[in-house]
Amino acid sequence: MKKFLAIVLIAAMMFSFASFAVAEEPVKITVFHYMAQAVKQAGLDAIEAAYTELHPNVTFTNIYYNQGTDYFPQLSTALSSGDQPNIIMGNPGLYPDLVSEGFVMDLTDNETIKAMNLPSGDLGDVSADGKIYGFPIDFKSWGIFYNKTIFEEQGLEVPTTLTELNALQDKLIAAGIDPYVRSHNDAVYGDIECRNTVWTRALAAGDIDVFENLMNGTKKFKDYPYFAEALENWKMRLVGARADDMSNTQDMGLEVFAAGGAAMRYDGTWAIGDMLSKKPEFEIGFFIAPIDDEGSAKLNVQVDQSFMVNPQAKNADVALDFMEYWLTQGVVWSEMSQMPLNTGVVSDNLMPMVKTLAEMKGTGDIAHYGDFTMPLSSAFTTAWRTELTTFAESTLTGGGMTVEQCLDNLQKAFDEVIALN
Amino acid sequence: MKMISTRTARKRKLTTYAVREHGANLLFMLPAFLLFAFVVLVPFFQSVPISFTDKKAIFAKSWNYVGIDNYIKLLKNRAFLDTFLNTAHFTLVYIVGANLLGLVLALMIWRSSRFNNVARTLLFMPFTVSLVASTKVWSYVYTDIVSPLFGIPSPLGVSSQVIFGLAVIAMWRDMGYCMLIYIAGLQSIPGEYYEAACVEGANSWHEFRYITLPMLMPAITANVTLLLSWGLRCFDYSQMVLNMKAAKTTAVFVYEWIFGNSRAGVGQASAIILTLVLVVLTNLVNSILRRREVEL
């Protein structure tokens, strides 16, 4: 009996040692992302470090590529060669091939996501074909950032109507101050300048399938009056052109803005961290660009950091656990990146502007991209942005392109993409 | 009968010689050819069938054959054809500019001296800078130097000037390379020709027109052919101004459709059209220029 017990005990001890060894086996998680901002990269490092502290055997490798040029090509090459990343950044609606080829995990029944009770827009942004494939960490928005010092010196108030905004721009020009510094070397800027009008009006009109219809060719741009309105509104802001407006990259534009080279800048909230990193004492304010005199403009919301888990990669369970940790314990990330979390959790260490954004989203009076049936795919996004940049160039350099002509160009560009699809 | 057997013997001797000579040449070429075949030829021929499919992402495991549909769609597509015009525009400005600058510089510093040797090194240095780095540096040159100095917007932000702006970057980078080839060509021209021309009363222009230029034709052929193929494949320069429709080259179109837009079939077909155009044009220009070369 003693002998038997001794054998059982030894076996139990060996088993527990073996389990311990398995548990502590080093795990390397690869994160493929396109977060260009230094503060976001620091935020990613911080959340990973926090996870590693809890799970010392888990280490991370982050692979960054520029989204506009080589993120998806490099990801495609990695997946084709069998070099599987564990975590893939991106909105599943933008990368339908990842879904159809089984490179992203179906998270529809994920208990952690369910427990967060996220609004439909947040979930829509990380879904494709009615299923959830991504973790919606935080959100972004866009609008007009302004230099508080210049506003104070010029005795300017934050405008709440389109008429007030136009008057403010005129005052700045009359005072010899550039109203805006732009970065049209980066095509996203034309896009975000028009979104506020398009999203707000389309959702108010119930046109949740507007982008889907434009992509399948069943509707034309001119079928939706708010595209013309968006261009008209934007054209009003395209005044007081600077010589560098068309060639500035995002970073170059931010440098000029932080240096006081212009009073305002239409930008995304993702740039807040970088603005402050360029000049920590920079006094900036933010307001949503008015789209009319009735105060119809709403805060635009789109999930910013969305991450998908690759079930075909090794240690998918660990990657899933890390993403659940990030979603639920993301304060470290938020503080470092100054990005507002979708969960609504707000840290005291966030800038007041970021806290305000989180509060505004919490009210639900927003225009959320995730509430549309489908996002514009990559080819259509490129066409849309390229034509908008051409419109900006023409307006800023006195080329005189009309809104009507821009709509025609947009339609032609979409038709060309449809023909090749 | 005897005559025939002598001929046969000579032929056999010649053949053996030719085989030995060409065999040696081929053997020397073999390592480079194998590498070239491995990284260029095999992937190219492997990818040809994809151009006849509706394959989406490059990692997609299933697709259908669609015949020559992709080719027909592309040849009817205005956006695709426009990229060819942009590419041709860039290539033309780039070839002419880089060659002219290279030739002028070569004529200035082809003789060996301490100053000329230093100048050659300095002028060749941009060629060693990566394409990405040179485009980044030039975007600042245009924005922070050219714009404030002349009170004009950066050419990279103006559709009508963007191709010229990009070609200037390419010229700056490659003129040193052209210069070196021209210097080699100039140094191989025998001095007796110039002495004879001087005796005949020729002036500098006559010497350049009737001696230097014809004798430089092999160097011109090499430079033009090389820059033609580089220009037609232009990708990096165009990538830096992605949002400018007027600057989008065919190589960027190919990249966008294969990878960014996940339409590997369409993208591959556009790549094959570009390759065919490149091969045909390069050979055509090369054969025209070779006819003008003068044997020493």
Contact A390 B245 (CB under 8 A): yes
Q: Per the domain annotation, does B111 fall within a domain? A: yes
Pair (A132, A147) in one structural domain:
no
ipTM: 0.82
b or e along B114-150 (b: 16 or more beta carbons within 10 Å of the residue's beta carbon)?
eeeeeebeebeebbeeebeebbeebbebbbeebbeee
* Structure tokens that stand for B156 in this block: 């990279």
The CATH number of the domain holding residue B171 is: 1.10.3720.10
Contact B243 A185 (CB under 8 A): yes
Q: Per the domain annotation, does B73 fall within a domain? A: yes
Residue A288's domain comprises: 141-302+371-420
Q: What is the pLDDT of residue B284?
A: 94
Contact B60 A101 (CB under 8 A): yes
Q: Per the domain annotation, does B60 fall within a domain? A: no
Is any Cβ of chain A less than 8 angstroms from the Cβ of B244? yes
Amino acid at A161: T
Residue A273 distance to chain B (closest CA, Å): 23
Q: Per the domain annotation, does A360 fall within a domain? A: no
In sequence order, what are the residues at sequence separation of 6 or more whose Cβ sits closer than 8 angstroms to the Cβ of residue A282?
A147, A258, A275, A276
Q: What is the pLDDT of residue A340?
A: 92
Provide the chain A residues 177-206 that lie in CB contact (below 8 A) with chain B: 184-187, 190
User: Per-residue confidence at B144, pLDDT binned at 50, 70, 90?
Assistant: confident
d(CA B232, CA B89): 10
Contact B261 A377 (CB under 8 A): yes
Q: Per the domain annotation, does B122 fall within a domain? A: yes
Q: How many CB pairs under 8 A join A and B?
A: 118
The CATH number of the domain holding residue A246 is: 3.40.190.10
Q: Which chain B residues touch A389 with a CB distance below 8 Å? A: 243-245
Residue B218 distance to chain A (closest CA, Å): 39
Q: Per the domain annotation, does B105 fall within a domain? A: yes
Q: What is the pLDDT of residue A14?
A: 55
Pair (A117, A80) in one structural domain:
yes
Provide the chain B residues 7-66 that lie in CB contact (below 8 A) with chain A: 56-61
Q: What is the pLDDT of residue A23?
A: 53
In sequence order, what are the residues at sequence separation of 6 or more whose Cβ sits closer than 8 angstroms to the Cβ of residue B211?
B189, B193, B194, B197
As a whole-number percent, the residues of chain B with pLDDT over 70 amount to 94
Q: Which chain B residues touch A72 with a CB distance below 8 Å? A: 259-260, 262
**Contact in structure between B52 and B67 (CB atoms under 8 Å):** yes
pLDDT tens digit at each of 421 positions of chain A:
556 555 655 555 555 544 444 456 899 999 999 998 888 999 999 999 999 999 999 999 999 998 877 899 899 999 988 889 999 999 998 888 999 999 999 999 999 999 999 999 999 999 998 999 999 999 999 999 999 999 999 999 999 999 999 999 999 999 999 999 999 988 899 999 999 999 999 999 999 999 999 999 999 999 999 999 999 999 999 998 898 899 888 888 999 999 999 999 999 998 888 888 888 889 999 999 999 999 999 999 999 999 999 999 999 999 999 999 999 999 999 999 889 999 888 888 888 889 999 999 999 899 999 999 999 998 999 999 999 999 999 998 888 899 999 999 999 999 999 999 8
Is any Cβ of chain A less than 8 angstroms from the Cβ of B259? yes
Please count the structural domains in chain A.
2
Residue A403 distance to chain B (closest CA, Å): 18
Give the pLDDT mean for B214-226.
94
Kindly write down the DSSP assignment for every residue of A2-53, as one continuous string. Answer: HHHHHHHHHHHHHHHHHHHHHHTS-EEEEEEE---SHHHHHHHHHHHHHHHH
Pair (B84, B21) in one structural domain:
no
Residue of B nearest to A84 (CA): B59
Q: Per the domain annotation, does B223 fall within a domain? A: yes
d(CA A236, CA A196): 14
Pair (A402, A268) in one structural domain:
yes
Secondary structure letter of residue A341 according to DSSP? B
Pair (A340, A225) in one structural domain:
no
Residue B270's domain comprises: 69-291
Pair (B271, B243) in one structural domain:
yes
